[in-house]
Amino acid sequence: METSRFVAGVPVDVTTGQIPVQRLLCPNAGVMTGPGTNSYLIGHQELALVDPGPAMPVHTQAIMQALGGRPLKWIFVTHTHGDHSPGTPALQALTGAQLIGLAPHADAQYQDRSFVPDRLYGHDEQILCDGFSIRLIHTPGHVSNHLCFLLEEDGMLFTGDHILQGTTPVILPPDGNMSDYMKSLEDLRHLPLRALAPGHGEVMLEPEQMISTLIRHRQRRELKIVAALTTLKSCILDELVLLAYDDVPSHLLPWAKKTLLAHLYKLRDEGRARLLAPAPTSAGEKADIETSIWEVL
Ligand SMILES: [Zn+2]
């Protein structure tokens, strides 16, 4: 197996078992996308693809080239953020593949609203493909419509942004939810996993260890947030993030603030923190969460 090369547009074999899996990196590297978005091609003859990526013709062309004339029958989409799903219509138009995923929640922010799956599948449903099967695992948390896909023959889980390599996912409230995220991580422990194929970064071969590390990371962060709230007594997000995320580079703090808010909502729901009713900014205007005061209980 070769997983060390990150060159956009060049297929890399990331097979870990019987079913061929190729990773195709999209040239959209950045702060939130790391080396770029991974698209995965699965199968021998009739192929499946996980995450078409953003609407970038160069990436769609690279996928078509990697197909090498073989039919693409299934497009699986982990979630509808701009770096994962907007490339779908172009690819579907070229291949006629069936589209599998969950449409975004009506209130969700930063979502690809053009996304409409061909058929609604539910959690734990199995889709029989050409010599392999994919099981849908609903993993709300990063966003509410997040799915992971289990390649059952090889125990390889395509994790989208639920589990990343080299970094931790941002949880985006209110559609993203920290309690859901923790539960979704715990639920993965019951699956027969042998490899994790993330939406960004390298394939990981020790799934149990990775999942445990992520759960511990979130638990430690929660403890740190409670300690920071105790120290500051009452504070706004901007004050709290500096103390609770003092190990995070300053350019990532705007994103850390979103995950911090997800942690705070979880603490509030558990009766461990409270959000003081903020003063309205002007008549009829919604109070701003940025200026809201948080306290530990
Ligand atoms: Zn995402």
List the domain boundaries for the chain.
Answer: 12-205, 215-296
Q: Nearest Cα to 117, choosing from 142, 98, 140, 94?
A: 98
pLDDT tens profile 49-82: 999 999 999 999 999 999 999 999 999 999 999 9
* CATH, range 215-296: 1.10.10.10
pLDDT tens profile 250-266: 999 999 999 999 999 99
For residues 283 and 140, give the distance between their C-alpha atoms in angstroms, rounded to a whole number. 35
C-alpha of residue 231 to centroid of ligand 1, in Å: 32
C-alpha of residue 92 to centroid of ligand 1, in Å: 21
> Does the domain spanning 12-205 belong to CATH 3.40.50.920?
no
For residues 246 and 46, give the distance between their C-alpha atoms in angstroms, rounded to a whole number. 49
Confidence of residue 291 (pLDDT cuts 50, 70, 90): confident
C-alpha of residue 214 to centroid of ligand 1, in Å: 17
C-alpha of residue 268 to centroid of ligand 1, in Å: 24
Q: Is the pTM of this model over 0.85?
A: yes
C-alpha of residue 89 to centroid of ligand 1, in Å: 18
Fold agreement between 12-205 and 215-296: no
C-alpha distance from residue 109 to each of 171, 175, 244 (Å): 12, 8, 25
C-alpha of residue 80 to centroid of ligand 1, in Å: 7
Distance between alpha carbon 153 and the CA centroid of its chain, in Å? Answer: 23
- Ion ligand 1: residues, CB < 5 A: 81, 161
Helix axes 207-232, 253-269, angle to 10 degrees: 80
12 Cβ neighbours under 8 A, 6+ residues apart:
2, 3, 5, 22, 23, 24, 25
For residues 39 and 177, give the distance between their C-alpha atoms in angstroms, rounded to a whole number. 25
